[in-house]
Amino acid sequence: MNEENKNNEKPSSAYDVAKNATQLDNGALSFDLSNLKDEEEGEYFIALFDVLGFSDLQKEIGLTKMHSQYKDLINDVVLKDLDKNPLAMTLVNINFRPALVAGRIDIKYAYFSDTIILWARQVKFLFPLFIDRCSEFLVKAIEIGLPLRGAISIGRAVMDKQSGIFIGEPIVEAARLESAQDWIGITFGNSIHSLPVDNNSFKFTEILFNYEKHMKPEKKALNSMISVDWARKAREQNKTETIVSILTSRMEKFKDKAHYYSNTLDFMNYSLTNHDWAKKIVDSYKEKQKDETQKPN
């Protein structure tokens, strides 16, 4: 590639922009994501949600109320305090230089019929913020009466909200995985395995491993075995009792959908039982290392 073409090449991801960051006099790194337009192909984090029992819910509360709930959910979680969203900070290497980088995630959305999509440009160290927002999104949705089944995928796509055009393998993956679940919750697609499972890509307090009771038996191959621990978020917000009450009430009211709610309550118990799973692994590793050093030569 000649120098002229290289200079004219458009960045395809936020990481491409970050690689070409400008180092300021004070040592900070500056990069601009504003020229990454969504109608252009790029790397994304994508979360796709389906409203369970959409037809029954529509009959129960009406289209006007449902539309209002959609807007409330977006405003209260996705768009809330955009200028005050928490900063994610991590140590990265840009242009072969270590740098402490801080950023806020810009999540966009679209909804149509019983489907809601959230997405953000893919920057590895911002992924925990995306997961956290999806977790809060689910908790809030249950509270206001919108039972959601979701899937998170990552990869290359076109997310053109203005034209209503959404194309790409991660969208296909998320749609297939979403419909393969029997619960209210969020599972990661297998594309997630392209990211290293470390505390820069994930906060271990936001995920749970090896859960599969929620998967339809014939669809288990779609399960990455990593789920969003939204039940921990509910506990942190002191909403567990409220959530359990809502789920139990709806399970009794919509008996044909009872297994969705039962599986969700089971997951909440699993989350509580495995609240310290990451700490247990670390403690076990430390104990093993201690035993190794104490062995006689």
Q: Where are the domains of the chain?
A: 38-279
Percent of the chain having pLDDT more than 90?
A: 47
The CATH code belonging to domain 38-279 is 3.30.70.1230
> Is 14 strand, coil or helix?
helix
Q: What is the pLDDT of residue 82?
A: 60
Confidence of residue 137 (pLDDT cuts 50, 70, 90): very high
Q: What is the pLDDT of residue 200?
A: 57
> What is the average per-residue pLDDT within 208-236?
94
* Residue 124 vs residue 194, higher pLDDT: 194
CB 108 within 8 A of CB 45: no
> What is the average per-residue pLDDT within 180-198?
90
> What is the average per-residue pLDDT within 74-98?
66
> What is the average per-residue pLDDT within 100-115?
80
Answer whether residue 291 shows pLDDT above 70. no
Instruction: Give the Cβ contact number of residue 31 at 10 Å.
Output: 18
Which of 9-18, 33-42, 167-176, 223-232 has the weakest average pLDDT? 9-18
Which of 4-13, 72-81, 138-147, 186-195 has the weakest average pLDDT? 4-13
Q: What is the pLDDT of residue 58?
A: 84
CB 185 within 8 A of CB 227: yes
Answer whether residue 25 shows pLDDT above 60. no
> What is the average per-residue pLDDT within 187-206?
80
In terms of average pLDDT, the best of 9-13, 25-29, 269-273, 276-280 is 269-273
Angle, alpha carbons 108-48-59 (nearest 5°): 105
> Is 260 strand, coil or helix?
helix
Sign of CA dihedral 155, 167, 37, 50: negative
Alpha carbons 104 and 86: distance in angstroms, whole number: 6
> What is the average per-residue pLDDT within 208-226?
94
Confidence of residue 37 (pLDDT cuts 50, 70, 90): low
Q: Residues 75-89, buried b or exposed e (16+ Cβ, 10 A)?
A: eebbeeeeeeeeebe
Angle between the N-to-C axes of helices 54-61 and 63-73, in degrees from 0 to 180, rounded to the nearest 10: 110
Within 8 A by CB and 6+ apart from 72, the residues are 144
Q: What is the pLDDT of residue 78?
A: 87
Angle, alpha carbons 257-258-260 (nearest 5°): 75
> What is the average per-residue pLDDT within 160-182?
93
Instruction: Give the Cβ contact number of residue 225 at 10 Å.
Output: 16
* Residue 285 vs residue 143, higher pLDDT: 143
